[in-house]
Structure formats: structure tokens, C-alpha cells
Amino acid sequence: MLAIQRTYVAKKGDVDQKWYIVDASGKTLGRMASEIAVILMGKHRPQYTAHVDTGEFVIVINAEKIVMSGNKLQVRHYAWYNGYTRQKLESYADRLERKPTDLVFLAVKRMLPKNPLAKFMLDKLKCYAGPEHPHQAQQPISLDLGNKKIKNADLKNTDSKKI
């Protein structure tokens, strides 16, 4: 008689969620945001289930020191409609001065799935402009994200970095 293999499907309370902290100073916005989105979705875990929130909490500090390649800070713009006849436009550089956490927040938001579960994933992202954050009680684990190449050795469990 053969043993039947069963696929593991995570349930809502089964997943233990950890807290990670990412220092955004000198990091490229898009590279860092895509890796944060993977952690928020939980795709880095073997227990990933698409219809269950299996992601972790991510704290981003020093969002005001984020960089972008080329001259994207001056060329690219955020556009939104405020109810009047013309749109509001603001360059990334102006947004970085006015609300530095919005650059990270909106970049990660656009990389998450477009479904009702994305709201719960995005609630686990905490962005702060400076190095201070009120989440020391959760004992966040430091992550080094946004590098050009991530080696498999960085993804293995170590004392300072865990994924």
C-alpha cells in the first residue's frame, strides 16, 4: 500500500508571523519594494497559501534616504485627481521632501496583489522617515534588502538574518 502525500494548506491561525526591520538608507526603491512585497505576501515561506495571509510584519526606517537610479526623482511624477478640472502633479523629489514614507508605501502597494487580502498585507508594513520606530517590543530581525544580487546564503537562517 502506498502512502498518500497530502498538500499542506495554511489556515488563518497556523502561521507564526515575525517582525523584520529594513534600513532604507542608500537602497534602490524598486528593488527594495519588490523584496518587501514578497515578505508581506509570505511567498518566501514554504507554507505559502494564496488565499491566506501568511506574510510577516516589515518595518522600514530611514525612508527619507532612499535613492533612485538615473534622474527618476526629477523626471517621474505622481498624478492624482482631486475633483477639480486638472490633475495634481508632483515629482518624486517633491514627494520625497514632503512625505518620504509615501514613496516606499506606494511602491510596495503597487507590487501586492489587487484583491481584498492586499489591505491586510499592507497593514503589516510600517514606514518611518527617520531611524526611530515604536516597535522595539516586537524584537524585529534586521534584513538587508535592495541589493543587486541576493545570494542563497543570505536567505538561510542565521542569528542576525532570518527569513
CATH number for the domain harbouring residue 26: 3.90.1180.10
Beta carbons within 10 angstroms of residue 135's beta carbon: 14
pLDDT digits (tens, 9 = 90+) for 114-137: 999 999 999 999 999 999 999 999
Predicted TM-score of the model (pTM): 0.83
In a domain, 138, yes or no: yes
In a domain, 153, yes or no: no
Number of compact structural domains in the chain: 1
pLDDT digits (tens, 9 = 90+) for 14-30: 889 999 999 999 999 99
The amino acid sitting at 97 is E
Closest by CA position to 141, among listed 58, 46, 34: 58
DSSP state, 125?
E
- Grid cell locating 148: 543587486
In a domain, 10, yes or no: no
> What is the domain range of residue 126?
19-147
In a domain, 158, yes or no: no
